[in-house]
Amino acid sequence: MRWLPCLLACQALFAQGELRFNLRHEPKTLNPILAAEDASQAIAYLTGGVLIRVNRLTQELQPELAESWKVAPDNRSIVIHIRKGVRFSDGTPFTAEDVAWTLQTATDPKLHSPAGESFSAKGSPARGQVLGPDAVSIVFAAPVASLERLFDQLPILSSKSPLKEKAALGPFMVASYQPGIEVVLRRNPNYWKKDASGKQLPYLDAVRLPIQQNREIEFARFSRGEIHLINQLEPELFDRLKKANPEAAFDAGPSTDVDFLWFNQVAGASIPDYKKDWFRSRNFRNAISRAINREDLCRVVFRGRGRPAVGPFSPANKFWFNAKLTPSRFDPTAALKLLQQDGFSRKGDVLFDKQGHAVEFSVITNAGNRIRERMAVLIQQDLQAIGVKLNIVTLDFPSLIERITKTFQYESCLLGLTNVDLDPNEMMNIWMSSSEDHGWNPSQKTPATPWEAEIDNLMRAQSAAGERLKRKALFDRVQEILRQEEPYIYLAHRNSLSAVSPSLRGVHPAALFPQTYWDIEHLSLK
Amino acid sequence: MNGAPDAAKPSLSGRVARHAVSLLLTLLLGGFFGALLLRFGPGFDVDERDLDMRYSAQSREAIHRERAGDRNIFSFYVRYIERAAQGDFGVSRSLAVPVSELIATRAGVTTRLIGLGLAFGWTLGLGFAVASVRWRKPAVIVFSETFCGVALSLPAAVVALLVFLTAGPVSLVIGIAIFPRVFRFARDLFEKALDRPQVLAASARGVAERWIFLRYVVRPAWAPLIALAGVSVSIAFGAAIPVEVICDLPGLGQLAWKAALARDLPVLVSLTLIVTAITLAANAVADVALEAART
Amino acid sequence: MIWIRRFAVAFLGLVFALGLAADWVAPAPYARQFRAEPNAPPSREFPLGLDGLGRDRFSRLLQGTRISLLLAPAAALIAISVALLIGGSAGFLGGWWDHAAMRVTDLFLSLPWLFLFLTARAMLPLNVAPSASIVITFAMMGLLGWASSARVIRSAVPELLSSEFALYARACGCAEPRIWRRHLLPHLRVLLTAQFWILIPVFILGEASLGLLGLGVAEPLPSWGNLIRELESVPALAEYWVLAPVLLLAAVMICFQLVKTGRGVQTF
């Protein structure tokens, strides 16, 4: 009963039109163009105005601050006509100059702005050229496939406002920030959007973002009505919510997140040669993949709210997902047959390779991630059925990053990937064999295998192709090769689950970030 | 022979000065060892941005170059101490905020948490100890042992969660972590004292129970209790970490945890210095009180 | 009081016996996943229900008993021995040694040892046998966890040295080692056992937090520590059976204490 008076007091404290939801980490920056991690990106999404937006439901481009645009046929430049009469939150007019200036700032090599990084091609940054008060042309050093989608990630800053990056073009602006406690956003009085009836948006007066890491406590706060939204709800909590308050639980179907397992194929890694031979063998990788029961993984770990994965993209990526591919089917007998082709044999409960080594390897994953730890334990049991011993090692995140990016002291790794962008061009760094992000064998001088060479060529071709359907055909082939070779053994896509308070109106949860509040300007509280 | 040779005792000011120098040296060593542990632990050189595929190879190299200055831990520490002497504790690597600002805004939360927790734990511990020694009834013993056993068996994180869910005071968690140690320790000391022949003699003489308890039971237990008081400050700080992390209290414990996970060298070294300073101070005060109690 | 003590002894005997015989007594293998019904509530077949992966909680609890009840006391013994060595010698010898030993103790109380555990994990091979990693973890906890006890012992020693019986023994010409063995150590024992019993649950729970860092008991092996961690996620009040490992740990701790206090009770 003790919290009842507290609750009443809280309600009196909070403003009527104030939306509240948690940030799960301390935002590392409030400057929208520097936002790199979730918390900063959430604030950047709410405060930053962008030229072109990827609609989170339809996944099509829609004009925001750009009234219209035209991409040159060579895919190297774009001319953008900006919306007239728009003002920043402090009243400074928005001009084409601001666009050029933002681009210049974001691509400053000293700032390490992730948004700015995407505007580099062939190592040199794109440049903006002001064509008039309402028009700007942006020229890249090399052709970039579907370059207009890049603008979704580039919030425009003011070149003239005395408030600098604090002057906002988005629906909200930062009102206060207490490190470790909360960020409060207030509605931008000069926001340009109006609803159908001509009323100025956003409907909400403020957004309060307490910084709160613990999921159980976040859930308890939601149940008490202290916060209105939870994005990326854990399946267990979702089930609990579904029982207690079914109209607050939303399942937007598969998200773009994917969990996967891969083997270390780095030539110089400090693992025994015979293990390197296993990991480089397609049969071995396919066999492990077939021995993993993905259906169980989804049912047990995601409580049925996930689906087996076939590749890097989930069906949530409407355009780029290759729907012709089917996930590896659970079949231990077929797995053993594949292994026999490589000379493996099973004696009793243990699998031996052709030189007589018992098959045993370790998998590293990040500690404290309940979902991934459980996945690992399920896989451990699945592999035991074909005589493979899997040792699970959970590491804290910096230790894990060090092992997979610097020292390569690991055998296999279980990790997840959140696709920020829907376009495969953004994944160039992962697929090119010369890249540092080429997880299983990074920074190769020449492609180690013919199929990696083929992926390299396909990725280059799709980037240069320009035409979307042609690119799609090329990337479909990449997904096909990945499915055959399984350098990454894709496991499952979790569903995009969220909790939305019934008092919040106008919510259309989407599979993409920021799931519940992507159209924040249209949300309102009862 | 036995610890405090009375002959050839140096002057008081000399002893204080020597003591101060040794405390300062220990403090400096503490900070250095803290930095050393971090430097040679895994993951010192990595940045979470290493996994962000949007960054190009050149940018990543630039990010690593910015950190490379801290690789030589000796020169880092010397520079750090030089600047710290002028009140500048550097800038947090992960939060990009001056460390002194971070600590100043968070110290209050932790001080309150630990202060209340210690007060609570000691009151409860001593209270139960006195009760179970004075009224040696099976019911009292079983009850206090049960309470103590449960308190010992619940991890601070779980108690913190329970306290949050029931909207109780968070310092309760620290109190519960301190309580069993105080209770068991004090109870054992009191009991040992009760078994002494003086007690029997005094009660045979008809001395009042309360007087016997104060004179023969509580008084000899002074010294070790004071030592435990010094140690309990460090224990309370240790318990503050999970509490602040679970309950999202923006205190020093939470900062320490975040800094450890982000391998934030300046923050971690500063916090190690603070914790070392507090431990030294608490134990030095305990030592002085101990000597005063003896003479 | 005597019946309480008897009951406590019987209970402890039962827990130890069940822990040692876990392989034969447990209704199901501790790692077996009944995937058809994860999180099943208690039933006749599974008295404590199934965990999130469909493993029998009761069998895991029995198996965890063995690991935790054997290794945690061993680690506590190491810690107490080091504490006695450092705290005892500091109190006995005094002077600069006392001073230096207490400064080292203070340092041990304040350094971020977490990184030493991380380094230890980094130095161990990834395919290390689970038993080796558990033993190393507990040994490290023992070697690092002595500081608070050392301080307490250090403060008690001078008191004992100047006590009447020590003075008397010395006056009678008793040799120092004999004074220690016959007079001082028995008096310190109360203090040492109190510290010992406090450290056991501290280490049992500490192992669970280290499990988070990849040290300690690796999946699928259970320990009391990692079973108790389950409480951090499930609303314990709604699913009371999840509390079983905490209750068992608490019960064991309480019974040990009752056995101790039940002996030679006096009335005041």
Q: How far is C39 from chain B (nearest CA, A)?
A: 20
Contact A374 C52 (CB under 8 A): yes
Looking at residue C214, its pLDDT comes to: 62
Cα-based distances in Å from C11 to A213, A507, B227, C223, C255:
41, 57, 35, 20, 8
Interface mutation target, options A237, A243, A377, chain C, most CBs of C under 10 Å: A377
**Tokens representing residue A334 in the block:** 């077929």
Q: Does C158 touch chain B (CB under 8 A)?
A: yes
Number of domains in chain B: 1
Q: Is the pLDDT of residue A7 over 50?
A: no
A293-322 per-position pLDDT tens digit = 999 999 999 999 999 999 999 999 989 999
Q: Which of residues 237-266 of B touch A (CB under 8 A)?
A: 245-248, 250, 254-255, 258, 261-263
Q: Does B39 touch chain A (CB under 8 A)?
A: no
**Mean of the pLDDT values across residues A192-212?**
92
Looking at residue A164, its pLDDT comes to: 86
Q: Is the pLDDT of residue C185 over 60?
A: yes
pLDDT band with cut points at 50, 70 and 90 for residue A5: very low
Which run of H or E residues covers position A485? helix A468-485
C52-84 per-position pLDDT tens digit = 889 999 999 998 898 888 899 999 999 999 999
Q: Does C29 touch chain A (CB under 8 A)?
A: no
Contacts of C126 in chain A (CB under 8 A): 362, 364, 391, 393, 409-411
Looking at residue B10, its pLDDT comes to: 60
Q: Does A213 touch chain B (CB under 8 A)?
A: yes
Contact A214 B248 (CB under 8 A): yes
Contact B97 A123 (CB under 8 A): no
DSSP conformation letters of chain B: --S---TTPPPHHHHHHHHHHHHHHHHHHHHHHHHHHHHHSTTTT--GGGG-TTS-HHHHHHHHHHHHTTSSHHHHHHHHHHHHHTT---B-TTT-SBHHHHHHHHHHHHHHHHHHHHHHHHHHHHHHHHHHHHS--HHHHHHHHHHHHHHHHS-HHHHHHHHHHTT--THHHHHHHHHHHHHHHHHHHHHHHHTSHHHHHHHHHT--HHHHIIIIIIHHHHHHHHHHHHHHHHHHHHHHHHHHHHTT--SHHHHHHHHHHHT-HHHHHHHHHHHHHHHHHHHHHHHHHHHHHH-
Domain assignment of residue B2, yes or no: no
Contact A217 B55 (CB under 8 A): no
Q: Is the pLDDT of residue A330 over 90?
A: yes
**What CA–CA distance (Å, rounded) separates A146 from B223?**
76
Kindly give, in sequence order, each residue whose CB lies less than 8 Å from that of residue C175, ignoring residues fewer than 6 positions away: none
Closest of C199, C236, C58, C232 to residue B155, by C-alpha: C232
Domain assignment of residue B108, yes or no: yes
Kindly give, in sequence order, each residue whose CB lies less than 8 Å from that of residue A331, ignoring residues fewer than 6 positions away: A290
Q: Is the pLDDT of residue A520 over 90?
A: yes
Domain assignment of residue B5, yes or no: no
CA nearest to B28 within chain C: C107
For the ranges A64-73, A224-233, A381-390, B254-263, the lowest mean pLDDT is seen at B254-263
Domain assignment of residue B1, yes or no: no
Interface mutation target, options B38, B59, B94, chain A, most CBs of A under 10 Å: B59
Looking at residue A370, its pLDDT comes to: 84
Interface mutation target, options B189, B216, B279, chain C, most CBs of C under 10 Å: B279
Contacts of B208 in chain C (CB under 8 A): none
Looking at residue C154, its pLDDT comes to: 87
**What CA–CA distance (Å, rounded) separates A70 from A80?**
7
Contacts of B185 in chain C (CB under 8 A): 152, 191, 194-195, 198
pTM, 2 dp: 0.88
Subunit partners of chain B (3 or more CB pairs within 8 A): A, C
pLDDT band with cut points at 50, 70 and 90 for residue A10: very low
Phi, psi of A128 (to 5 degrees): -100, 145
Q: What is the CATH number of the domain that holds B57?
A: 1.10.3720.10
**Mean of the pLDDT values across residues C88-93?**
88
Contact C106 B33 (CB under 8 A): no
Contact B29 C107 (CB under 8 A): yes
Q: How far is B108 from chain C (nearest CA, A)?
A: 20
pLDDT band with cut points at 50, 70 and 90 for residue A173: very high
For the ranges A159-173, A267-281, B44-58, the lowest mean pLDDT is seen at B44-58
Looking at residue C234, its pLDDT comes to: 60
Contacts of A376 in chain C (CB under 8 A): 219
Going residue by residue through chain B, which has 295 residues, state the pLDDT in tens, using 9 for 90 and above. Answer: 344 444 455 677 887 888 888 889 999 999 999 999 988 888 888 877 777 777 877 778 888 887 777 788 888 899 999 998 888 888 888 888 899 988 998 999 999 999 999 999 999 999 998 888 887 777 888 888 888 888 888 888 788 888 887 778 888 889 998 998 899 888 878 887 777 777 888 888 888 878 887 877 777 777 778 878 888 888 898 888 888 888 888 899 989 988 888 888 999 999 999 999 988 988 888 888 777 766 6
Kindly give, in sequence order, each residue whose CB lies less than 8 Å from that of residue A418, ignoring residues fewer than 6 positions away: A256, A257, A513
**Mean of the pLDDT values across residues A138-162?**
91
Contact C93 B3 (CB under 8 A): yes
Q: How far is B136 from chain C (nearest CA, A)?
A: 6
Looking at residue C261, its pLDDT comes to: 62
Domain assignment of residue B3, yes or no: no
Contact B55 A114 (CB under 8 A): yes
pLDDT band with cut points at 50, 70 and 90 for residue A380: very high
ipTM above 0.95 for this complex: no
Interchain CB contacts (distance < 8 Å): A and C? 71
Q: Does C119 touch chain B (CB under 8 A)?
A: yes
**Mean of the pLDDT values across residues A28-34?**
91
Q: Does C214 touch chain A (CB under 8 A)?
A: yes
pLDDT band with cut points at 50, 70 and 90 for residue A523: very high
**Mean of the pLDDT values across residues A467-476?**
92
Contact B258 A26 (CB under 8 A): yes
Looking at residue A81, its pLDDT comes to: 96
A382-414 per-position pLDDT tens digit = 999 999 999 999 888 889 999 999 899 999 999
Q: Does A406 touch chain B (CB under 8 A)?
A: yes
Q: Which of C151, C231, C261 sits opposite B230 (nearest CB)?
A: C151
Contact C127 A360 (CB under 8 A): yes
Contact B41 C249 (CB under 8 A): no
A93-124 per-position pLDDT tens digit = 999 999 999 999 999 888 888 888 888 887 78
Q: How far is A293 from chain C (nearest CA, A)?
A: 11
Q: How far is A396 from chain C (nearest CA, A)?
A: 6
Query: For the CA atoms of chain A, what is the radius of gyration?
Result: 25
Q: Does C31 touch chain A (CB under 8 A)?
A: yes
C-alpha A209 chain-centroid distance: 21
Contacts of A399 in chain B (CB under 8 A): 42-43
Q: Does C268 touch chain B (CB under 8 A)?
A: yes
Domain C2-263: CATH superfamily, name plus number:
MetI-like (1.10.3720.10)
Q: Please report, rounded to a whole number, the percentage of residues in chain C having pLDDT higher than 70.
A: 92
Query: For the CA atoms of chain C, what is the radius of gyration?
Result: 22
Looking at residue B6, its pLDDT comes to: 46
Contacts of A396 in chain B (CB under 8 A): 43, 261
Q: How far is A335 from chain B (nearest CA, A)?
A: 32
Residue range of the domain that includes B219: 10-294
Q: Is the pLDDT of residue A22 over 60?
A: yes
Looking at residue C213, its pLDDT comes to: 65
Average pLDDT score over chain A: 91
Asked if C253 and C72 touch (Cβ cutoff 8 Å), the reply is no
DSSP letter for A403, please. Answer: I
* Total residues belonging to chain C: 268
Q: Does B106 touch chain A (CB under 8 A)?
A: yes
C111-158 per-position pLDDT tens digit = 888 888 888 888 888 888 777 888 888 999 999 999 988 988 888 887
Contacts of A178 in chain B (CB under 8 A): 250
Domain ranges across chain C: 2-263
Contact B96 A118 (CB under 8 A): no
**Mean of the pLDDT values across residues C84-111?**
89
Q: Does A124 touch chain B (CB under 8 A)?
A: no
CA nearest to B243 within chain A: A214
Q: Which of C112, C113, C228 sits opposite B268 (nearest CB)?
A: C112
Looking at residue C237, its pLDDT comes to: 59
**Mean of the pLDDT values across residues A480-487?**
96
**Mean of the pLDDT values across residues A361-383?**
92
Domain assignment of residue B266, yes or no: yes
Contacts of A394 in chain C (CB under 8 A): 211-214
Contact C121 A216 (CB under 8 A): no
